[in-house]
Chains A and B, each alone.
Chain A
Amino acid sequence: MHVCCCLTGHLELARRPDLYGSPVVVGRWEEHVVAASEETRELGVIPGMAMRQAEHLCPQATFVPPDEEATTRIRELISSALYDLAPIVEVRDEGIAWLDLIGLVNPGQSVRAARHRLLRAIGREPRLGLAPGPFSARLAAARARPGRLLRVADAREFLAPLPSRELPLDSEQQERLDLLGLRTLGAVASVGPRELESQLGRDGRHAVLLARGLEPDQLEAWRPPLFTSAHRQFGEPVEDREALLFVARALCGDLADELGLRGAGAKHVRVRLLLESGESEKRESIVRHTLSSTAELFGLIGAWIKEWQPRAAITEFWIELPVLEAAGRRQLRLWAGGDGSSEEVIAALERIQERFGDVVWHPRPA
């Protein structure tokens, strides 16, 4: 058992936590249902159904238009929240989060932490499943109660009695399975992969492997985005250095929060000033140790601003972090006595060296 699946419901539904517990259908009129809450599913509403049909089946539901951008943001938020719990984390819009726990010393701790973080991120208890692969883990999670974990030791044995409609096949392929009398995964597993391939094409072979618990699919690891930036546009052009420092600190705070969420650190820092004259000035640096906290970012950027002599008043201020490194959650201050901040001290010494030249030296024993 090494894959944990957390089911939270479609992330479109997580945009409206105020509607939890009531029937909700997400989709655009004249199009198909993108997501439906459990309360509407009992009345026959399923994703992919025409919206008018969904309205006919469940007229009392709240109909919400989808917002792909907001859903992507929620997905990124969940991915970054789970990022440091397992070597591979994959989150999908359908509300499925997989964690590959292979190699972890204490997988139970990661599962518990995943449950708590998902609860905090979307406001409802996830269903959890633990199985040898992503397919069996998802089906196990779907059969668990909210906030509970269902463990599957033998995937084939667990899958055998489940209906074959759990397989990722389109409606026509499902119909053919019915006609062939293959109504359970156990029945599908008993057929040879080539036999079903001749009936359904490549999906048939894939379906047999899934039904046998052989887990042919691999998880796609989520990686933090590699670029981020923050900027401030001034109503009136700014000449005051103190005001600029104040804004820089605030932007560094925003960026540090974002880096913290993503579990990343900045490897490359660039500051751009757009001037009233239409020109722009920039300064950039590649740092050896990634910067992730407000103090670290502002330590470098603040030092630049203090000595910067712009040619004209500033209309826009940009801080860009073009290269991010997947730093995970660095465990600074792990040891007592301030020794855990050794990395920060080395980074500070490098900044001093960069700013003032060759002033730092380490005495060596003769």
Chain B
Amino acid sequence: MQGQKLELAIDSIRVRFGSQALTTAAELPPPQAWPSRTPVDKLTGIGGLPRGRVSLLTGSGTCGKLTLALALLASATHEFAHAIVIDAGGFDTWSLLPFSAELGALTVVSAPAPELAGEAAATLARAGAGFLLLTGAVPEHWLGPLESGASRSGTVVVGVVDAPDRALAHTSSFSLGFSRSEWVWERGQLAGIRVLARCVKNRVAPPLGMTELEIRYPLGSRGLTDFMPGIREVRVQIEEVAECTSAAV
């Protein structure tokens, strides 16, 4: 009975305002994806991070979100003319070295004040930067311009925050929550962490999913000299260990 009423209401809206006035989510075209070549691609459901949308990597403490973001940034420097970091503090170019980023395509905007971060992010998204990495929160009143600017230009926006506020969480189209499950030790040395990455919000495609990642630090059996800038073969590995079943929408 309720279903019939709903159908009737939908029909009357379509008759009055046209067939395009009301569209079911399944009929909407998915946003264009940017394949980042990381395990995140599988979790989005569209084969990559959504272009023109805001994606979030969240989680408290050491949980691998920044490492994954750096891997995404390094990949973006090879694919876009402009990969930009809006640095709220703590971004270190040296941390990108193991990922073999193309530094010529990388620009950093130091934005200690959230207002500056918001304005810079919105301006650059509107201008059409290929990839934007936000390492801090953005004031609520800049989220609208950021979202619309990115939507217009197709910019991939990735935010890394411990816990997003309500506005940022609402703005994001794809949100991945990280939680550390265990430390990985090898021969008595800390070699990495094992984390659980769970899709906590997905507006681009069903279903929500989760996966377990092993993030390896560039340590292991190598000596300290391996961390000199000239040594490039040191790579951080982000390996997918096992894929879990998807949760329902």
In the docked arrangement, what's the CA distance between A348 and B111, Å? 15
B142 to chain A, nearest CB (A): 12
Name the contact of B81 in the complex, choosing from A339, A349, A352, A363 (C-beta under 8 A).
Answer: A339
Please indicate the chain B residues that have their CB under 8 angstroms from the CB of A362 in the complex.
103, 106-108
B77 to chain A, nearest CB (A): 10
A37 to chain B, nearest CB (A): 46
Which of A347, A361, A364: most chain B CB closer than 10 A?
A361
Taking a contact as CB atoms under 8 Å apart, the answer to whether B126 and A360 are in contact is no
Taking a contact as CB atoms under 8 Å apart, the answer to whether B110 and A359 are in contact is yes
In the docked arrangement, what's the CA distance between A142 and B233, Å? 73
Q: Verify if A316 is at the interface (C-beta below 8 Å from B).
A: no
What is the 8 Å Cβ interface bit string for chain B, positions 83-101, against chain A (1 contact, 0 not)? 0100000000100100000
Taking a contact as CB atoms under 8 Å apart, the answer to whether B103 and A345 are in contact is no
Q: Verify if B82 is at the interface (C-beta below 8 Å from A).
A: yes
> Known contacts A342-B82, A345-B82: does B103 contact A356 (CB below 8 Å)?
no
Taking a contact as CB atoms under 8 Å apart, the answer to whether A351 and B80 are in contact is no
In the docked arrangement, what's the CA distance between A351 and B96, Å? 27
Q: Verify if A299 is at the interface (C-beta below 8 Å from B).
A: yes
What is the 8 Å Cβ interface bit string for chain A, positions 274-312, against chain B (1 contact, 0 not)? 000000000000000000000100010001000000000
Across the interface, name the chain B residue whose C-beta is closest to A349.
B107
Q: Verify if B43 is at the interface (C-beta below 8 Å from A).
A: no
In the docked arrangement, what's the CA distance between A361 and B109, Å? 6
Please indicate the chain A residues that have their CB under 8 angstroms from the CB of B106 in the complex.
362-363
Dominant SS among interface residues on chain B? mixed
Which size class do B's interface residues fall under? 20 to 34
Taking a contact as CB atoms under 8 Å apart, the answer to whether A360 and B130 are in contact is no
Q: Verify if B179 is at the interface (C-beta below 8 Å from A).
A: no
What is the 8 Å Cβ interface bit string for chain B, positions 189-229, against chain A (1 contact, 0 not)? 00000000000000000000000000000000000000001
Taking a contact as CB atoms under 8 Å apart, the answer to whether A345 and B127 are in contact is yes
Please indicate the chain A residues that have their CB under 8 angstroms from the CB of B96 in the complex.
363
Q: Verify if A21 is at the interface (C-beta below 8 Å from B).
A: no
Q: Verify if A337 is at the interface (C-beta below 8 Å from B).
A: yes
Taking a contact as CB atoms under 8 Å apart, the answer to whether A349 and B124 are in contact is yes
Taking a contact as CB atoms under 8 Å apart, the answer to whether B108 and A345 are in contact is no
In the docked arrangement, what's the CA distance between A329 and B130, Å? 23
Taking a contact as CB atoms under 8 Å apart, the answer to whether B127 and A363 are in contact is no
Q: Verify if B129 is at the interface (C-beta below 8 Å from A).
A: yes
Taking a contact as CB atoms under 8 Å apart, the answer to whether B80 and A338 are in contact is yes
Name the contact of B80 in the complex, choosing from A299, A339, A349, A360 (C-beta under 8 A).
Answer: A339
Q: Verify if B79 is at the interface (C-beta below 8 Å from A).
A: yes
Across the interface, name the chain A residue whose C-beta is closest to B149.
A295
Please indicate the chain B residues that have their CB under 8 angstroms from the CB of A299 in the complex.
123, 126-127
Taking a contact as CB atoms under 8 Å apart, the answer to whether A344 and B108 are in contact is no
Taking a contact as CB atoms under 8 Å apart, the answer to whether A352 and B153 are in contact is no
Q: Verify if A120 is at the interface (C-beta below 8 Å from B).
A: no
Please indicate the chain A residues that have their CB under 8 angstroms from the CB of B136 in the complex.
none
In the docked arrangement, what's the CA distance between A341 and B131, Å? 13
> Known contacts A348-B127, A359-B111: does B103 contact A364 (CB below 8 Å)?
yes
In the docked arrangement, what's the CA distance between A363 and B116, Å? 20
Q: Verify if B128 is at the interface (C-beta below 8 Å from A).
A: yes
Q: Verify if A105 is at the interface (C-beta below 8 Å from B).
A: no
Name the contact of A341 in the complex, choosing from B108, B119, B120, B153 (C-beta under 8 A).
Answer: B153
Q: Verify if A243 is at the interface (C-beta below 8 Å from B).
A: no
Q: Verify if A179 is at the interface (C-beta below 8 Å from B).
A: no
> Known contacts A337-B80, A352-B109: does B93 contact A363 (CB below 8 Å)?
yes
Please indicate the chain A residues that have their CB under 8 angstroms from the CB of B80 in the complex.
337-339
Please indicate the chain A residues that have their CB under 8 angstroms from the CB of B123 in the complex.
299, 348, 351-352
Across the interface, name the chain B residue whose C-beta is closest to A341.
B128
Please indicate the chain A residues that have their CB under 8 angstroms from the CB of B154 in the complex.
338
Please indicate the chain A residues that have their CB under 8 angstroms from the CB of B116 in the complex.
356, 359
Please indicate the chain B residues that have their CB under 8 angstroms from the CB of A352 in the complex.
109, 119-120, 123-124
Across the interface, name the chain A residue whose C-beta is closest to B85.
A363
Taking a contact as CB atoms under 8 Å apart, the answer to whether B128 and A360 are in contact is no
Taking a contact as CB atoms under 8 Å apart, the answer to whether B120 and A345 are in contact is no
Name the contact of B129 in the complex, choosing from A338, A361, A363 (C-beta under 8 A).
Answer: A338
Q: Verify if A365 is at the interface (C-beta below 8 Å from B).
A: yes
What is the 8 Å Cβ interface bit string for chain B, positions 18-54, against chain A (1 contact, 0 not)? 0000000000000000000000000000000000000
Across the interface, name the chain A residue whose C-beta is closest to B155.
A338
Q: Verify if A333 is at the interface (C-beta below 8 Å from B).
A: yes
Which A residues between 307 and 366 are near B, CB-CB below 8 angstroms? Answer: 333, 337-342, 344-345, 347-349, 351-352, 355-356, 359-366
Taking a contact as CB atoms under 8 Å apart, the answer to whether B108 and A360 are in contact is yes
In the docked arrangement, what's the CA distance between A299 and B119, Å? 10
Give me the 10 closest cross-chain CB pairs, A-B, nearest first. A341-B128, A348-B127, A339-B81, A363-B93, A344-B127, A366-B229, A342-B81, A345-B127, A359-B110, A345-B82
A-B contact pairs, 9 of them (CB 8 A): A299-B123, A345-B81, A348-B124, A349-B107, A352-B119, A359-B109, A360-B108, A363-B103, A363-B106
Starting from the known contacts A345-B82, A361-B108, A366-B229, 5 additional A-B residue pairs (CB-CB under 8 Å) come to A299-B127, A349-B107, A355-B119, A363-B93, A363-B106
